[in-house]
Amino acid sequence: MYGEELTFTGSEFTVAGLVAGDEVTSVTLTSAGAAATAPVGHYSIVPSDPQGIGLQNYNFTFVNGLLIVDGVFLTLPSQLVPSRLLMSSGTEVTLASCSPAELAAMLVAAGRVIIQASEPGCGGAGPASAEAIP
φ, ψ for residue 33, nearest 5 deg: -80, -5
Q: Please tell me the distance from the alpha carbon of residue 109 to that of residue 64, in angstroms, as a whole number.
A: 24
Q: What is the pLDDT of residue 134?
A: 47
Q: What is the pLDDT of residue 7?
A: 94
Q: Considering only CA atoms, which of 98, 46, 44 is closest in space to residue 68?
A: 44
Q: What is the pLDDT of residue 3?
A: 78
Q: Please tell me the distance from the alpha carbon of residue 134 to that of residue 123, in angstroms, as a whole number.
A: 31
- What are the residues whose beta carbons fall under 8 Å from the beta carbon of 120, sequence distance 6 or more? 126, 127
Question: What are the start-end ranges of the H helices in 3-129?
Answer: none
Strand ranges for the chain from DSSP E? 23-30, 41-53, 65-69, 72-76, 84-86, 92-94, 103-109, 112-117, 129-132
* Separation in Å, CA 69 to CA 5, 38, 44, 104, 109: 10, 8, 11, 18, 10
pLDDT in tens, the chain (134 residues): 677 899 999 889 999 999 999 999 999 999 999 998 888 889 999 999 999 999 999 999 999 999 998 877 665 555 555 555 555 556 555 555 555 555 556 666 666 666 665 555 555 545 555 554 44
Q: Please tell me the distance from the alpha carbon of residue 47 to that of residue 57, in angstroms, as a whole number.
A: 19
